[in-house]
Amino acid sequence: MLQQGTGFLWTRWAPFSMGRWTVAASLMLLMVASSLAGCVTEGGDETGLDAVFTLSPANNIRVGDTVAFDASGSLPNDGSLSYRWDFDGNGTVDATGRTAEWTFGVAGSFTVVLTISDGVRSAEASRTVDVVEASAEAPTATISLDASSEFDCLGEDVSASSYILIWICEDDKETSDRRISATTTVALDASDSEAATSDDYITEWTWDLAPSEDDDGDGDSENDADLDGETVDWTSVAPGEYEVVLTVKSSKGLTSTDEVKVHVNYAGTWTDFEMGGNSSSGPAQLDFDVTVVYDRDSGNTIRKAIAELTYPKQDDDWVVGGGQQQNNNRLEIYVLDEENEEVVNSSEIGDDQREDGECDSDDYCLSLPLSSYLMTDTTHGDGEWTMRIHNDRWNDIKVHQFRIVLEYK
């Protein structure tokens, strides 16, 4: 006969006395029973249904608190679904409907199960909800700002009162290495976090390094544990702007969060190298590859980029070529976007504007700043850009220094 099980139909019968046909007949009955019952799964890959729910509050739920549950994210969202809620994991239906509320009367850990169905297929989602005593107090999460650099790459003091600012400084880079790929390690410290009472203590420290992304798929993008520990090293951090969320949990089961912006700036310097002169094949060019990031959705947005070039005004080894005498040096900077389209160049900057600042009297100091506007989606976009030194003079030119700066703060 056919009997109703928990989400499945199963079969019970006396064996046939038909030899090898016994197994085939049994399998056929089982397939018929399964098609009548439908299939309950933990996700939507097999059934085409996707059960998802959120709850508010999601943390620090105390005895007597009313929690709101919302399954609006379940799919399909076309009105064809029914919703059943089991709030204490005992297998009974405690509520129905796309949204529901529940008040937990005792402390403990409870498995909340949502079951959705379109009348033929079913799918489930579950989540453990921790409920603490009504008198419990939450701890305090605190991220130390001591990870900031003491100085920038020019030796100036770094002032960071409400964020972490780190400089990656690459001095005297070889011209054979013209790609900016340096990363750094950020030391994250939560040792200033505290429990609320003397009989309580912190048991967990978790760090979410991408709070805009829900890596674990639980509907809460700010509770993913990318790193664990009171003090941790976040390695391989590229120049950019990041948000970090710390969550601490006490021995009484309550949590607290703190967040901080981490800005990683970069400055790379190439010194004392030769730029070849113009030839029959065209101007001499030297390309430097740099990644710029402007992602408003994640909050990783560059503020500005700067290319600085220092070279002598006069060339003692001037040559005659192309029908002209040239001993007055002039180099240009060209900037190209990821599509290799020109963004800007320095050709409109006159010689008199190349003598500003702390430039030596015998040198030209060319500075080409790039605002973040040039890197937005509505202009050139971010990505792999090129900063190019361009020499269309016949003579070789000695470059004293070329410097690229990326500022995310």
Q: What is the pLDDT of residues 274-315, one digit of tens each?
A: 999 888 888 999 999 999 999 998 899 999 999 999 999 987
Q: Are residues 89 and 125 in the same domain?
A: yes
Is pLDDT above 90 for 369? Answer: yes
Scan for tokens 């500022």, then name that residue: 407
Is pLDDT above 60 for 11? Answer: no
What span, in angstroms and rounded, lies between the C-alpha atoms of 306 and 370?
6
Q: Are residues 369 and 284 in the same domain?
A: yes
- Last residue of a domain, which of 264, 295, 319? 264
Residue 173 maps to a domain? no
Residue 145 maps to a domain? no
**Pair of tokens at residue 337:** 């976007």
Q: Are strands 255-275 and 397-407 parallel, antiparallel or unpaired?
A: antiparallel
Residue 46 maps to a domain? no
* 91 neighbors 97 (Cβ within 8 angstroms): no
Is pLDDT above 50 for 219? Answer: yes
307 membership: H or E segment, kind and range: strand 304-312
State the residue range of the domain holding 11.
2-37
| 380: helix, strand or coil | coil
CATH number at residue 361: 2.60.120
* 244 neighbors 188 (Cβ within 8 angstroms): yes
DSSP one-letter string for 118-130: -SS-EEEEEEEEE
Residues in the chain: 409
**Which pLDDT belongs to residue 220?**
66
The per-residue pLDDT for range 256-278, each reduced to its tens digit, is 999 999 999 999 999 999 999 88
Residue 162 maps to a domain? no
Q: Are residues 234 and 113 in the same domain?
A: no
**Which pLDDT belongs to residue 137?**
95
**Which pLDDT belongs to residue 235?**
97
Is pLDDT above 80 for 12? Answer: no
Banded pLDDT at 317 (limits 50, 70, 90): low
**Which pLDDT belongs to residue 272?**
96
CATH number at residue 58: 2.60.40.10
**Pair of tokens at residue 276:** 């070849």
User: If you average pLDDT over every residue of the chain, what do you get?
Assistant: 86
* 243 neighbors 212 (Cβ within 8 angstroms): yes
Q: Are residues 324 and 357 in the same domain?
A: yes
Residue 127 maps to a domain? yes
Peptide linkage before 139 cis (omega within 30 of 0): no
**Which pLDDT belongs to residue 328?**
83
Peptide linkage before 57 cis (omega within 30 of 0): yes
The per-residue pLDDT for range 160-189, each reduced to its tens digit, is 889 999 999 999 999 999 999 999 999 999
C-alpha closest to that of 290 among 206, 137, 190, 403: 403
- Over range 86-98, report the average pLDDT: 95
More confident residue, 20 or 176: 176
- Last residue of a domain, which of 205, 233, 264? 264
Q: Are residues 301 and 247 in the same domain?
A: no
- Over range 25-34, report the average pLDDT: 35
Q: Are residues 310 and 376 in the same domain?
A: yes
Instruction: Name the most confidently modeled range: 4-8, 26-30, 43-47, 375-379.
Output: 375-379
* 211 neighbors 222 (Cβ within 8 angstroms): yes
What span, in angstroms and rounded, lies between the C-alpha atoms of 36 and 46?
16
Q: Are residues 295 and 367 in the same domain?
A: yes
| 22: helix, strand or coil | helix
The per-residue pLDDT for range 101-150, each reduced to its tens digit, is 999 999 999 999 999 999 999 999 999 999 999 999 999 999 999 999 99
Q: Are residues 126 and 246 in the same domain?
A: no
Residue 178 maps to a domain? no
Q: Are residues 116 and 71 in the same domain?
A: yes
Amino acid at 125: A
| 203: helix, strand or coil | strand
Q: Are residues 317 and 377 in the same domain?
A: yes
Q: Are residues 258 and 191 in the same domain?
A: yes
What span, in angstroms and rounded, lies between the C-alpha atoms of 156 and 352?
27
* Count of structural domains, the chain: 4
C-alpha closest to that of 53 among 110, 115, 95: 115
Residue 324 maps to a domain? yes
* 139 neighbors 195 (Cβ within 8 angstroms): yes
**What percentage of the chain carries pLDDT values higher than 90?**
74
Q: Are residues 22 and 77 in the same domain?
A: no
Going edge to edge, which strands form the sheet with 54-56?
Answer: 54-56, 66-70, 99-103
C-alpha closest to that of 49 among 80, 7, 18, 89: 80
**Which pLDDT belongs to residue 225?**
87
Total-model pTM:
0.78
- Last residue of a domain, which of 264, 292, 322? 264
Q: Are strands 363-371 and 342-345 parallel, antiparallel or unpaired?
A: unpaired
Residue 156 maps to a domain? no
Banded pLDDT at 44 (limits 50, 70, 90): low
**Which pLDDT belongs to residue 357?**
72
